[in-house]
Amino acid sequence: MNKVFADLPVTVFEAMSQAARDNNAINLGQGFPDDPGPEDIRRAAADATVNGYNQYPSMMGIPELRQAIAAHYGRWHKLSLDPMTEVMVTSGGTEALTASILAVVEPGDEVVVFQPVYDSYLPIIRQAGGIPRLLRLEPPGWRLTEEMLASVFNPKTKAVLFNNPLNPAAVVYPREDLELLARFCQKFDTIAICDEVWEHVIFDGREHIPLITIPGMRDRTIKVGSAGKIFSLTGWKVGFVCAAPPLLRVAAKVHQFLTFTTAPNLQAAVAYGLGKPDQYFHDMRQELARSRDRLTKGLERIGFPVLKSQGTYFLTVDLSPLGLNETDVEFCKRIVSDYKVAAIPVSAFYEQDAVTSVVRFCFSKKDETLDTALERLSDAV
């Protein structure tokens, strides 16, 4: 069997969701909201289903959605994209990333990856024959540094995978860090695959800056997005790849044999959603920030040191000052079985030199879900 996959554990998100089901626990592990999502967008999907969006759509995505993606990024980021040659719809962000990695990486190529790293990146890089060059971001800031990049970038660096906003650290990167990364990409002729699925889930007036908009990066960045995250409809699995035509063409050749296409009724509904006024997105941020604050305050009251979340559905707590004498994995096992609350151990986002004292909680939940979880955790430390 294929060693890249045969020896892998089941992804931590599925494993913890299964543990939550087995223990009848509140699931603050895998990132998904527990409300049904925007009603008008769900209705748009129902209407599209009834009105005939049910056969194979175009491999690249239905034209309405590709146009809506281009218009959306034009409106939010002044990014000008040709919907027909620079935009592709995929079955979720994970497929978009896989298509992008397989499109770029060839055997022997080096690929720079930052830890904490989302768990789908490394197996796909290895399947392509790429050699991951791992860097380690340090809490609490998780910032990029010149020394760090200089230690791995070299003429063999074919690609860098960069996740911004960063899951699980919940950091939104400032322009300075993006410009630093862009300098290295240009110096070593490196392609950036930028996982920006959390681009709209940012708080406190922060701005998301797509790496593709940094000068010199337009033709060397593959931008990955996700409607599931933008509209809190994570099970829909509608993702996007945006890139200059020479990059997108090859990603499309991979996509045609991964999933070929994506449910057209959902694509039609996402096209409708992306056209919603700016205020909708601002309100969504505000609502999620309120949930973040509710969980943050509740956890702090219990005594957990919370690392403040700038974006994503997640916040992290640092167990090290608590003197619990257990790792993040042990802590997560204990709270799911004894307190009926599931969380994600951040060490799952490392392949080497793991941070083993940080745990991720998902706050994109109803108030009563968060309050019950907090009540259950009240004597966990």
Residues at the contact surface with ligand GLN, assessed by CB under 6 A: 13, 30-31, 94, 167
* Whole-number Å distance between alpha carbons of 358 and 305: 10
- What is the DSSP track for 177-235? HHHHHHHHHHHTT-EEEEE-TTTT-B-TT-----GGGSTT-TTTEEEEEEHHHHTT-GG
- Shortest separation between residue 134's beta carbon and ligand GLN, angstroms: 19
**CA distances to 62, 205, 306, 332 from 301, in Å:** 49, 26, 10, 19
- Shortest separation between residue 110's beta carbon and ligand GLN, angstroms: 26
* Whole-number Å distance between alpha carbons of 108 and 85: 29
Output 98 or 221, the one with its CB closest to ligand GLN.
Answer: 98
> Rounded to 5 degrees, what are φ and ψ at 135?
-115, 160
What burial class does residue 294 get, using C-beta atoms within 10 Å of its C-beta: 0-12 exposed, 13-18 middle, 19+ buried?
Answer: middle
* Whole-number Å distance between alpha carbons of 143 and 318: 17
Output 73 or 349, the one with its CB closest to ligand GLN.
Answer: 349
- Shortest separation between residue 16's beta carbon and ligand GLN, angstroms: 9
Closest of 171, 227, 204 to residue 282, by C-alpha? 204
Output 130 or 228, the one with its CB closest to ligand GLN.
Answer: 228
* Whole-number Å distance between alpha carbons of 175 and 147: 18
- Shortest separation between residue 332's beta carbon and ligand GLN, angstroms: 13
What burial class does residue 52 get, using C-beta atoms within 10 Å of its C-beta: 0-12 exposed, 13-18 middle, 19+ buried?
Answer: exposed
- Shortest separation between residue 195's beta carbon and ligand GLN, angstroms: 10
* Whole-number Å distance between alpha carbons of 332 and 355: 14
- Shortest separation between residue 215's beta carbon and ligand GLN, angstroms: 30
Output 117 or 125, the one with its CB closest to ligand GLN.
Answer: 117
Q: What are the b/e assignments for 147-186, b being 16+ CB within 10 Å? A: ebbeebbeeebbbbbbbbbbbbbbbbbeeebbbbbbebbe
Output 30 or 157, the one with its CB closest to ligand GLN.
Answer: 30
**CA distances to 56, 116, 247 from 242, in Å:** 21, 24, 9
- Shortest separation between residue 272's beta carbon and ligand GLN, angstroms: 24
Output 101 or 185, the one with its CB closest to ligand GLN.
Answer: 101
- Shortest separation between residue 288's beta carbon and ligand GLN, angstroms: 14
Output 31 or 225, the one with its CB closest to ligand GLN.
Answer: 31
Output 153 or 240, the one with its CB closest to ligand GLN.
Answer: 240
Output 247 or 332, the one with its CB closest to ligand GLN.
Answer: 332
- Shortest separation between residue 8's beta carbon and ligand GLN, angstroms: 14
* Whole-number Å distance between alpha carbons of 351 and 374: 31
